[in-house]
Amino acid sequence: MRQHHRTPRLLGTLLLVAAAGLSLSGAAPTAPAAPATPSTPTPLGRVVPAPASVDPGGSPYRVTRDTRIRVDDSRAVRAVGAYLADVLRPSTGYPLPVTAHGDGQIRLRLGGKGLGEEGYRLVSGRSGVTITAGRPAGLFHGVQTLRQLLPAAVEKNTVQSGPWPIAGGTVTDTPRYGYRGAMLDVSRHFFTVAQVERYIDELALYKVNKLHLHLSDDQGWRIALDSWPRLATHGGSTQVGGGPGGFYTKADYRRIVRYAASRYLEVVPEIDMPGHTNAALASYARLNCDGVAPPLYTGTEVGFSSLCVNKPVTYDFVDDVLRELAALTPGKYLHIGGDEAHSTSHADYVTFMDKVQPLVAKYGKKVIGWHQLTGATPAKGAIAQYWGLDDTDDAEKAQVARAAQNGTGIVLSPADRLYLD
């Protein structure tokens, strides 16, 4: 999984997709402004990612003890209002009641045109702030902009002195890219559910909408499945450098999926194959061509493992894994890996991908694979995730370009730029 012999921890790979038919324009970043002080509002344009349109002007609004959050009377909008109140109360010390009736100085409402599924409009002035969106996801993203416009101390967990100004003007924002993701590699190093939830909270602040969970690799298998229980209990029992490892029960995984959904992130689970599979091969001898299970692995080398492409049990295994994972995952995608399969011949790799991609469709999901998938025949509607380096072979780049020209979607995640250890 693209480590180049480095040890991963939190892998915050920001992904940009060249999504078919999506062409929403983003604004150029605004010029740096003088740092805001607690009494000076943060300039409207100082938001990450840069909004599509910023029109500053007018008096700021100040959040005070009397501020109320008015929401539309729907479950989704009330939930966004409650989320905002939960963020602001610890640092401000204000009650910030959320109400569907009466007045409110912070107003969250559905309506407006041209904002799409995730866009919003934030209007701030002396009397209050109104965030309008076509869908609840847009309101949620607008709330993240509101957070960023407040002084940084608003993120503290203890009461701060304030004041809490929000610059006057209008921000209108629709995302330039429909797929905005970050990966967390829980296979090399295991992270608890609480740690994953904290990561989700950080992603939400920057309007990331996909959480790519790398659930299996040579060093660990992190999801418990009924059909092959030793994958988790044995294959998940260690990690890079040794240590106890760990795995998610189905209940744990569902909790992560629910938490991500509450922050408008879709979970994209990855089971890397046919390479990066030592944890699975160590768990079940019959998955190996010679019927002998290798020992568990705690190093960082890549490319030495492979499922046995010519064994029927391999496809029984893959079918079971994808079936159970699809049933746990409400999102559209299953990621099947496919990178650094150096121990699999090209012919076997093509055979494997030709057999596995239809299994993803069988369970109602769309294929995502690392860009090496384009060396086989990507399924209709598949997405190839490009992680190439500056020195990636020209033939491989051309292979990816041809796949894109033939309709394969491309997610860009250049690994030499955005991996975090």
150: its two tokens: 């407040």
Catalytic residue among 266, 270, 324, 340: 340
For residue 76, give every residue at least 6 positions away whose Cβ sits within 8 Å of its Cβ, in sequence order, or none.
136
- Whole-number Å distance between alpha carbons of 164 and 150: 6
Please name which of 188, 196, 241 lies closest in space to residue 217, comparing C-alpha atoms: 188
Is 340 noted as a catalytic residue in this protein?
yes
* Strand 53-56 versus strand 169-173 pairing type: antiparallel
> Taking a C-beta distance cutoff of 8 angstroms, is the pair 258, 215 a contact?
no
Please name which of 170, 69, 70, 60 lies closest in space to residue 112, comparing C-alpha atoms: 170
Burial 133-142 (b: 16+ CB within 10 A, else e): bbbbbbbbbb
CA dihedral 186, 189, 195, 196 (to 10 degrees): -10
> Taking a C-beta distance cutoff of 8 angstroms, is the pair 143, 42 a contact?
no
Q: Give CA 219 to chain center in angstroms.
A: 22
Catalytic residues: 340
